[in-house]
Amino acid sequence: MIDWGYSLAGALTGFVVGLTGVGGGALMTPILLLVFGVSPVTAIATDLWFAAITKLVGARVHHANRQVDWQVARRLWLGSLPLALLIVLVVSLGAQVAKVDWLTRAIGVVVLITAVGLLAAPKLMAHARNQRISQAERFKAMQPVLTVISGAILGLCVALTSVGAGALGSVILLFLYPLRMTPHRLVATDIVHAIPLAVVAGLGYLFAGMVDWWMLASLLLGSIPTVLLGSLLVGKISGRWIQIGLALVLMAAGVKMLG
């Protein structure tokens, strides 16, 4: 049956995802764990499909506005999809993911790193912009390789915890492409990168029967209208204040999961 509590959580997360590109995993997974008491493996499995479908809806708006940087997205995929696929194979071959007692702690660590990254994003971007201008040729030469490596790190985090594609991804893109990533392009590229990554990472959990379909339907009932609304409001509302608020919430959630 549809649970309206999940739908409300989905609506909140969908709006934040549409507006900032952040929150599909970073916000939803802690909500499922701490508010609803969902088991870690069910939260991860269901959230991956929630993020993929929600971001697919939001991506249609961003693609129509021609804001996706496909070159950057492809570089991220070169790193993230192979790592996620490797985790999928491990899960599909019967790894006892549900019995991994450090799973909640792993999610807590990634959530805390995400929160710190969001808070530090302006300073990281300022430092990267200075490097980009003062050492332009060297910086540009390293961008492709660093983007692929960053994608691999994101793939590992997302496949194991469902967290990182949006929040960590946005911080990484700001650092690697400080002159190229306008706010709208950042959100659009981050969302598009996360879709196939969440699908690939979610396949192993799907085949292992770990997805809660009623929970997923309830979450999507809330998120689909609001992710469209958030996507349409990009550039009209400052996403930075929402990111700061989200970072503080994530920091509290991460500390609680590690406690």
- DSSP for 136-179? HHHHHHHHHHHHHHHHHHHHHHHHHHS-STTHHHHHHHHHH-TT
Dist CA 56 CA 252 (whole Å): 29
HSE value, Cβ hemisphere, 13 Å, CA-based, for 104: 17
Look at residue 96 and tell me whether its pLDDT is greater than 60. no
Please, which pLDDT band fits residue 118 given cuts at 50, 70 and 90? confident
Dist CA 27 CA 246 (whole Å): 8
Q: What is the mean pLDDT of residues 48-71?
A: 87
CA distances from 233 to 17, 68, 185, 228 (A): 11, 16, 13, 9
Dist CA 83 CA 76 (whole Å): 11
DSSP 22: -
For the record, the structure tokens of 104 come out as: 């909640």
Please, which pLDDT band fits residue 176 given cuts at 50, 70 and 90? very high
Domain extents in the chain: 4-258
Instruction: Tell me what percent of the residues of the chain surpass a pLDDT of 70.
Output: 94
Q: What is the mean pLDDT of residues 168-181?
A: 88
Q: 200 near 256, Cβ under 8 Å?
A: no
Dist CA 11 CA 46 (whole Å): 16
For the record, the structure tokens of 56 come out as: 């697919």
pTM of the model: 0.87
